[in-house]
Amino acid sequence: MSRKEIFRWEAAGAAFIIIAGSALHFVFEWSGGFRPVAWLAAVNESTWEHFKLGFWPAFFFAFLEFYAWRGRRPANFWAGKAVCLWAMPVLIGGIFYGYKAILGRHFLWADILLFILAAAAGQYLSFRILTARPLRTRWRRLAAAGLVVLFLAFALLTYFPPRVFLFMDPRSGGYGVF
């Protein structure tokens, strides 16, 4: 695949993540609190639940690319996707808590802009890795293991949240699906 074609796919992925992630913010509420959708959609206003809004759309888009690119898939495919999927929550969490510490509060407009920037940055990092020289096998395996860890965390921690600040709903003080 050409760099230009990969870039177009990653840009489309950023748009998909932003649109689908925004919708996922409301899916649990729209479902009437249907617990089986809690793994996918935000169930409260905790930071963790907002991380899911980027993770699941990016994860699903990665699988779309995986199948669409068969036979032309870059050697670093899963490494690029792993970096994207790890970068989004790290950027969102770091910048959110950083600006909140400095300003003393958060702003909805800034949170939305941060989500958009994190999706774009994650996809850009993915593009850079996808178009780089092939990584050593051990790095590609480490990336695959990192994806498995993230998948399990995002699939399970809404149902079994640790009692730490990332998982606490600031409105109710509850954790996960309560």
Question: Which amino acid is residue 173, in one-letter code?
Answer: G
Domain assignment present for residue 130? The answer is yes
Query: Per-residue pLDDT for 178 more than 90?
Result: no
What is the reported pLDDT for 45? 94
Could you report the per-residue pLDDT of 48-106, keeping only the tens digit for each?
999 999 999 999 999 999 999 999 999 999 999 999 999 999 999 999 999 999 999 99
**Cβ neighbours of residue 147 closer than 8 Å, sequence gap 6 or more:** 78, 81, 82, 85
Counting Cα atoms < 13 Å in the Cβ hemisphere of 60 gives 11
Could you report the per-residue pLDDT of 91-120, keeping only the tens digit for each?
999 999 999 999 999 999 999 999 999 999
What is the tally of structural domains in the chain?
1
Contact (Cβ atoms closer than 8 angstroms) between residue 171 and residue 45? yes
What are the DSSP calls for 91-104, one per residue?
HHHHHHHHHHHHHS
The predicted model gives 144-173 an average pLDDT of 95
Domain assignment present for residue 176? The answer is no
**Model-wide pTM > 0.85:** yes
Domain assignment present for residue 170? The answer is no
Structure-block tokens of residue 87: 């970068």
Domain assignment present for residue 50? The answer is yes
What is the reported pLDDT for 1? 87
Domain limits for position 129: 3-163
